[in-house]
Chains A and B, each alone.
Chain A
Amino acid sequence: MKFTGLLESHRLAAMLENSLDTEARKWKAPSFQGSTIKGTDISPMQYEQAVVWLEKLRSIFHFYPDTFFLAVTILNRMLASVKAQVKYLRCITVACLYLAAKTNEEREVIPLVKDLVEQSKCMCSSAEILRMERLILDKLQWDLYMATPMDFLNTFHAMVMSNSPSLFHDHLQINPSRHVALLTRQVQHCTACHQLLQFRGSTLALVIMTLELELMTADWFPVSSDLLTKAKIEHADFICCKETVESNLETLAPSNTVYLFISTSKDVRSRNTAIPACPTEGIPSNPLTVVSQKIDPPIGNTLASSIRSGLGNLIEADDEFDLGEISTMKMAKANRKNFS
């Protein structure tokens, strides 16, 4: 990720306007009725698993995070438009990722269908994926481009940086691109929560940005409400989404395995050899190891907020500690650098 100085605020405003317009025209999400997605036999849990699997596949194929988000928007639009049965969910999911990759990735990174089938272990045939691909194109009328939550997050982040540079300068010990990558990760967690499915990408991105601002400064309110106005988001929607996100992020740490990366894993080192540190980010590509542990709720809460603040003590203390997902993203990026 690259920041070339401060982007003029009018360009950012135009960009936001553009994205909001796209979202207003195309955004669609499946709704839940009883214990399944309306009109289908897909349970919330199965939906969440599909999204988590998408992220896993994204990292296997070294796609950009943008591709993951695009795949999720395609999946959501698809599930909202057809009455899909759960037996086709894997096929739909993998076809959504394939379409997102074809839309967003460069030619040299787009896999052949047979490799997709093999490496994803999706248990469907090439022919099935290709049929599903055409069905999705048909259903979405070939209109795949979409403003994703990540686009909004990047725009909001750049707007805050451009309007209140001192905020970042005074309160942030990591560089902005790393900061936005951490926030992206949080948005990614949230896209896998079925309770948040009803909220648009713009709302979700603004909530994450606001929660982050709250932790960074006491003066967060005017900055956040300025963004709220610019993004023309309903206050009620925003508050409801914020509460849901807060409860989800709080339960995130205690109820889930927390990944800490500690340096010197051979496993990761082997993946990482011959990969130069990602030049645009300035993050050292340290080989890291995974330690998973259950954490008691109080610590968990601290961790949740440190995840949210993007630079808890853990990370601040030692550059070699990092949130696992971020380094995965980083490695995927570094690997891709190598590709080209």
Chain B
Amino acid sequence: MGEVLCISVACGACCGGTGRAISASCPGTPSVSEENHTPELTDFSDVPCPVRALPPQWYHTVQVRRIRSLRARSNSDPLQGKNLGQGLQWQRKGLPFGNASSYLNLEKLGEGSYATVYKGISRINGQLVALKVISMKAEEGVPFTAIREASLLKGLKHANVVLLHDIIQTKETLTFVFEYVHTDLSQYMAQHPGGLLPYNVRLFMFQLLRGLAYIHHQHILHRDLKPQNLLISYLGELKLADFGLARAKSIPSQTYSSEVVTLWYRPPDVLLGATDYSADLDIWGAGCIFIEMLQGYPAFSGVTDVFEQLEKIWSVIGTPTEDSWPGVSLLPHYKTEWLTLYESQPFGSIWDRLARVMGAENLAQKMLKGCPRERISAEDALLHKFFSTLPCQIHQLTDVRSIFTVPGLSLKPEMRDLFFSHQKGSHHKPW
């Protein structure tokens, strides 16, 4: 404790105590050096420090997606097992947000098309964070995905939406600091092959729909739902992440790009070229993920082009007609002659585990309607009988409260975890 005090006093003495003075007295820090190197900035009397005004509640925990190969590396966490005294050497009071030196990189978690994600730790409060380092391109500046993600997440505060803590700008790079969440649904399913425990599926699905109901209420479409973009904390909290393709939606609607959502999770209306979709777009993806969680493999997978994908969907829900889906024949890629005319099938006969869980088949069928207007809304789906076994307090939570604050609710160990001793000692209680 004495050490902490010394550090903060020393820091206070050299830095003047205020956020502004700190950044001014640390010319080596990237954000400041940018100001010095950008001639225009000196012409504006009040040069901004973007994060100074961030409220303290922005700093909590973190999470991000990681690549599969690096997955089971929790033992490599260099901070594990270190005692508090060692922690004090790197943790400082009074470090500013928005400053690269406030975070330490620990390990690389994954690489995406426009960003690399690292696990990191905040020197401000010692919390684990996910650092998404975004590369800037000379021909287009800040990627539009980064702009959307940041400006959308700024307005979203919900237990089932990933939290953006901080944004760090330097001359060459841009770093988003997220709460650290230890895995994602894709990895979770890979670790527990053969389908997840129906009880856990219910908890994940409820959280997914709760997150969707929230963003849809804010008139935001996610547009890229897939298991990799659903983060799972070790408590079982599910969080929507990767809002790079998301967008706000107004009335009357513009038309949108039909090149959204990974093929396997793309609804048939969008596959047919519809551009006037709405929240129903995300519901289809959520329905596919629902089946994948229960069944253990993707609902409509293995295809490489739009028409194969459509065939696959028709083989389950039936080839659409003007009667079953008014307006379908007007969609750009609609063909009057499909190769095969399929009859719709009961979902339970295709995905057997759906039939074995009360309400699951019915919910899946309501989410996977061909005609987008008939698809159930996230809000209504939360009230579906599939969730009727959950305690009713779960519907009364405020936005930022996790469902696991409801007494008695917790993730159950998956079958595989019960058989393998390496999970012993985790928080899971045997049932």
Contact = CB atoms under 8 A, between A and B. Distances in A.
A253 interface: no
Most buried by B among A7, A81, A106, A150: A106
A143 interface: yes
Contacts of A57: none
A280 B150 CA distance: 32
B155 A22 contact: yes
A280 B256 CA distance: 13
Contact of B144 (A103, A128, A139): A103
A143 B152 CA distance: 8
A146 B41 CA distance: 25
B151 A144 contact: yes
B45 interface: yes
A41 B153 CA distance: 35
A129 to B, nearest CB: 7
Nearest to A108: B257
Contacts of A22: 155
A129 B50 contact: no
B253 interface: yes
Interface stretch (A82-90, A185-193, A282-290): A82-90
A7 B44 CA distance: 46
Contact of B275 (A126, A133, A154, A340): A340
Nearest to B153: A142
Interface in B110-137: none
A107 B44 contact: no
A112 B140 contact: yes
Contact of B141 (A64, A113, A155): A113
B251 A154 contact: yes
A113 B147 contact: no
Interface of B: 38, 40-41, 43-46, 48-51, 53-54, 138-142, 144, 147-148, 150-152, 154-155, 167, 169, 217-219, 247-248, 250-259, 275-276
25 contacts: A3-B252, A18-B219, A66-B250, A83-B44, A88-B43, A102-B142, A103-B147, A103-B151, A112-B139, A126-B138, A134-B141, A135-B38, A135-B41, A137-B50, A137-B147, A137-B150, A141-B50, A142-B154, A142-B167, A154-B250, A154-B251, A280-B255, A336-B255, A340-B255, A340-B257
Given A145-B152, A151-B250, 19 more contacts: A1-B254, A66-B254, A82-B45, A82-B46, A83-B44, A83-B46, A85-B43, A102-B148, A104-B247, A110-B144, A131-B38, A134-B169, A135-B40, A138-B50, A141-B54, A142-B167, A145-B248, A177-B252, A340-B255
